[in-house]
Amino acid sequence: MTHVQAEDGTEIFVRDMGEGDPIVFLHGWPLSHRMFEYQYHYLLDEGFRCIGIDHRGYGESDKPYGDYSYDRFADDLKAVLDELDVDGVTLAGFSMGGGIATHYMNRHDEAHVDKLALLAAASPCLTKKSDFPEGLDEEELNPLIEGARTDRAAMNAEFGQMLFHTEQSDEMMEWLWSLGMDASGLATAASAETFRDADLRPDMDGITVPTKIYHGVHDEITPFEITAEVLEDGIENAELVRFENSGHGLVADETEKLNEELAEFAG
């Protein structure tokens, strides 16, 4: 475990485990790298190196006031990969982490990355634009931002109930809630504004590496039709893998399938 200093001095927490082909994990909103616990168990046993990063504002990283844009998150990731001096990476981004991964690939010319895995990605565009009428209304995401500002504990609990298609234990839900409460309230609100407003469609043209898109067909947060299918059409070397029994939280809805898919793709 270590911290890497971003260009503005923010300390980014990195958990680096194992040896072998590297997989770098980018967590979703409003969690931390620990959300991938049940991927780490499997992939470490399969001989992979697993690198989990806490985005600024989350987990064990610094939680500054200020910029929580996709530019900033992508630049933080570049600082980490440069410092670790790691190449041949499979970059695995979940939800907001998928948006960060999409933007990183174009902004930093795919540096260090040989393969891209997008897991229930909040990418490329969630809300309606003049040329994207199929997107969500902003009003559907605004309660997350308002909740982060007024009653973050309740908002995190309500958001957790939206994550899964299969039943999860009360203890699992409490654990995920605790990960969300470890985040900065300022970061939680600001980065929700980022993924609400972002349009990453231009970034798709900059992605040339083999890409797998893993997405639950019952996803209520990043709906399959406006994210997964758009990514498949927009990324040159992309293949879409449907998770028929998953909502947004495919890491827990279909853990075994996801783990096996990641191992096969990254190997």
Active site residues per annotation: 95, 219, 248
Gap between the Cα atoms of 117 and 210, Å rounded:
9
SS3 of 46, please?
A: coil
Contacts of 121 (CB under 8 A, 6+ apart): 93, 94, 95, 97, 98, 99, 101, 102, 213, 215, 222, 227, 228, 231
DSSP state, 136?
Answer: B
Gap between the Cα atoms of 150 and 18, Å rounded:
41
Contacts of 50 (CB under 8 A, 6+ apart): 15, 16, 17, 18, 22, 23, 25, 36, 39, 40, 43, 44
**Inter-CA distances, 221 with 61, 157, 212, 226, 246, Å:** 25, 15, 19, 11, 12
